[in-house]
Amino acid sequence: MLDKKVVELLNQQVNKEFYSAYLYLDFSNYYYDKELNGFGNWYKIQAQEERDHAMLFMQYLQNNGERATLEAIEKPGVELSDNQAVLEAGLNHERYVTSLIHAIYEAAYAVKDFRTMQFLDWFVKEQGEEENNADSLVKKYELYGNDPRSLYMLDNEMAARVYTAPSLVL
């Protein structure tokens, strides 16, 4: 049986991951609207990944005899002012998600819930990658974003991203 506090946080995380998917769909729509279809594609796939994360948290609760409670998903709360600001907002959001994952880990650690810690290990690593990817996008935009030809090439690079299912199987 899982600790009540741990269940509460895992349940919250289901919602937070769906919110992330929602937020990145908003980013995706922003870029498609600007005809930066590669960036649009990149964030559309990112949204799919976030939905996968939500499903994994839900599945983990199910596997442990807990029923997830689905709450209302908040409206995307980031003002999309310009191409670069969106990428920076993405990086900030991933840092925030890392802090959420770490908080669940702390709660599990406090009650010696090794099973949940082991489940979360994948997400701890995943967040390292997410932050790294988001940071890389910010830096690339700083370098190339103000030159139309370079931006065109960067957009093409982003268009090449394809969806892959998460490596974690529960």
What residues line the site for Mg ion (CB under 5 A)? 17, 50, 53
* Closest residue to Mg ion, based on beta-carbon distance: 53
Question: Nearest approach, Cβ of 54 to Mg ion (angstroms)?
Answer: 8
Cα distance between residue 81 and residue 27, in whole Å: 11
Q: Which is nearer to Mg ion, 17 or 26 (CB)?
A: 17
Q: DSSP characters for 112-158?
A: T-HHHHHHHHHHHHHHHHHHHHHHHHHHHHHHHTTSHHHHHHHHHHH
The CA angle 43-44-47, to the nearest 5 degrees, is: 85
Q: Which is nearer to Mg ion, 135 or 144 (CB)?
A: 135
Question: Nearest approach, Cβ of 17 to Mg ion (angstroms)?
Answer: 5
Q: Which is nearer to Mg ion, 59 or 150 (CB)?
A: 59
- Residue 1's Cβ-count burial label (10 Å; 0-12, 13-18, 19+) is exposed
Question: Nearest approach, Cβ of 20 to Mg ion (angstroms)?
Answer: 5
Contact call for residues 57 and 122 (beta carbons, < 8 A): no
Q: Which is nearer to Mg ion, 145 or 166 (CB)?
A: 166
Question: Nearest approach, Cβ of 123 to Mg ion (angstroms)?
Answer: 7
Distance of CA 64 to the CA centre of its chain: 24
Q: Which is nearer to Mg ion, 18 or 30 (CB)?
A: 18
Question: Nearest approach, Cβ of 97 to Mg ion (angstroms)?
Answer: 6
Which amino acid type is present at position 130?
Answer: E
